[in-house]
Structure 1
Amino acid sequence: MIQEVAGIKVPDTRLAKDAADILREYGNDLLWNHSNRVFFFGAVNGKQAKLNYDLELLYVSALFHDLGLTKAYSSPDLRFEVDGANAARSFLQQYQIPKESIQLVWDAIALHTTPGVAEHKESEVALLFSGVGLDVMGDGFEEFPADLREEVIQAFPRNNFKKKIIPAFYEGFKHKPETTFGNMKEDVVQHFRPEYRNKNFCSCIIHSPWPE
């Protein structure tokens, strides 16, 4: 196991190691490398901004944030983000973690694809969001120190990540495309199924049961 990257030490607690084992068992190399890059990108951003945050909670959040895409943790009817958040909550409850910390991890995972909200919440939530944004869409790429960015990539290679992650997203929720209503993952469904349309917000209002 890698112990330190870009000046950030990987938490070496039993909880952290068990969380890593879960992702290793139920995820794949794509999710493993991506989730670790997200952790280090978020942690470096927190260090650079001199934020006060819990490194272990950020680590668990990063490892679980896409676990809802896996068959083992995917529900038939919930957003994959919520599946991952629920998995993290169940996991953390086994370690006598305070309820407030568990809720923080839940929020970080559930909101990691929700721009306009996540970045304004607690540091752990905002840092996970920033790490995901940098790794997936390149948000903050120019502002992130190039040498540290390359160090993270060397430790956890991208390996054609741009070509692989969109199909990976789709595989994770193609059985429940309706869960992408109102969030950016609807774009993924329409990438593979251009004809697909979720319900329309305005139509929901116009055709609501209210009589007026």
Structure 2
Amino acid sequence: MRLQDFDPPRTPASRAAVELAAASHTPALLHHVVRSWLWAEAFALVEDRRGVDHELLYVSAVLHDLGLVPAYDNVSLSYEEAGGHVAVALTAGAGWPAERRRRALEVIVRHNWPSVDPGLDVEGHLLEVATSLDISGARPDLLPREFLLEVLEAYPRLTLADEFTAGVTEQARRKPTTAARRIVEGGVAQKLAHHPLERLDRSRP
């Protein structure tokens, strides 16, 4: 498994999604969403998941934290739902049918579930396990060490720990009934501060 084995889909929706993410996110959060896509695709291989909609997975991965960006924040919706609605609008512009647009919202919302049954939603499952790895440090040993190192060299973690902790804590304060509160109360700050991938990231001092 090598980084070069994974190419983003060459579609209008995929190009628009990553352009929007790049224009909206800090470098640390942009690297996080790209790594999340790479981890998701890697878990699809390791778990031998079939029938994955790779374009849907890519678009959902690169847009999944857009609700943390002030321009796309929502006064009452959770940040994952707010970001999901941006994905719906973007994919509508790319010509996706209504059902597939709704799937982008579902996948992004479900990435913040404690777990997602792959029988219910394989793309939601893959994004959930991928973001659990990148944020909480879950199951790093399931992916080859050399692949982890290669991805971290291309997309270092930078200031993700501080930025994500601050963003999700603010969301939890303003929207205490959303998943952000569970994430904060679950110790996300400590998980990020002692993240196993931080030790592998060769860009760290």
TM over 0.5: yes
Gaps of 5+ in 2: 190-205
Indicate the structure (1 or 2) with the bigger Cα radius of gyration.
Answer: 1
Matches within 5 A, 1:115-154: 115-117=114-116, 121-154=120-153
8 Å CA contact 2:46–2:143 kept in 1: the answer is: no
TM-score for the superposition, normalised by structure 2: 0.81
2:79 is matched with which residue?
A: 80
Work out the number of aligned pairs and report it: 187
Distance 2:39 2:31 in 1: 12
Q: Which moved more, 1:96-105 or 1:16-25?
A: 96-105
Task: Please give the per-residue CA displacement for 1:150-174, whole angstroms capped at 9, x wherever unaligned.
Answer: 1111111012433432113234x26
Pick aligned residue for 2:175 from 165, 177, 189: 177
1:166 is matched with which residue?
A: 165
**In the alignment, does 2:61 pair up with 1:42?**
no
Q: Which has the higher helix share?
A: 2
TM-score for the superposition, normalised by structure 1: 0.79
Cα deviation for residue 45 of structure 1 reads 0.7
2:57 is matched with which residue?
A: 58
8 Å CA contact 1:118–1:129 kept in 2: the answer is: no
Displacement over 4 Å in runs of 4+: 188-191
Amino acid of the residue matched to residue 138 of structure 1? G
8 Å CA contact 2:16–2:90 kept in 1: the answer is: no
Matches within 5 A, 1:5-20: 5=3, 7-20=5-18
Cα deviation for residue 83 of structure 1 reads 0.2
Q: Which moved more, 1:7-16 or 1:56-65?
A: 7-16
